[in-house]
Structure formats: C-alpha cells, structure tokens
Structure 1
Amino acid sequence: MAIDAAVKEALDATLAEATDQPEDFKRRFRRLITLVLNGNYEDSDVRNVMDSIHVVVQSED
C-alpha cells in the first residue's frame, strides 16, 4: 500500500526539519510510518526506530 500523498508530504517536511537526526533514523522512521499505516508493525519495529534516534544531552552548568 502506498502512502497517501498528503501524509508523504507531511512526513517529508517533518524529516527535512530533523537536521539533527541521522539518515538511518529517517529511513527507519519512514518505514515505521508505512508499516503502521498498513497495520503491519511489531514492537521490534518501534524499538529499531527508537534505537536510531540521536539525542544530545546538555549539562546544566
């Protein structure tokens, strides 16, 4: 099943703004959205996306 054009446009715009995230995260996130829309995802799919998120922690100096 293809992603609806409006959803794809919103996803593209959102990921374009996520400049602090690696391409691996963006690829996995896009795949997860496709799986969710098809009702065909598992917990491991969500975990894979979560594992690829890049988080910057700043100290409170």
Structure 2
Amino acid sequence: MALLRAGNAAAAVAQIRVAPTVRDLRALEKALAAAQMAGRWRDVDAAIAESVQALSAPRLHRSP
C-alpha cells in the first residue's frame, strides 16, 4: 500500500509478484478496496489476479 500511495506502481507490481501467499494478496485487495484505490492501476490489478491464480493452481512439477 505504501508503494502505491507514493505512486510507485512498478515497485508495487514487483512486490506483488513475490507475495508469499494468497492470503497476503487477498488482504491487499481488501486494503485497496477500503482505501478506494481499487481499479486505479490496471497493471497492479492484473498482477494481483495473475499471482492469485498462480499461487492457487496446483503445481505440476516441483523442483527438488
């Protein structure tokens, strides 16, 4: 949220891509909605959606 409030959407997207869990991403979505900032940045919304999908999908191959 701090990166988005500062206007640094590129850094926010980078942080979203390395989010550890779906729970963290859902919390970010809720925080954006509460701050009425949801939908302001298309790339941020897309990164959240892609990361949630990637973290929710079963892994076909896990590296050792």
> TM-score under structure 1 normalisation?
0.34
> Which structure's CA Rg is the greater one?
1
> TM-score under structure 2 normalisation?
0.33
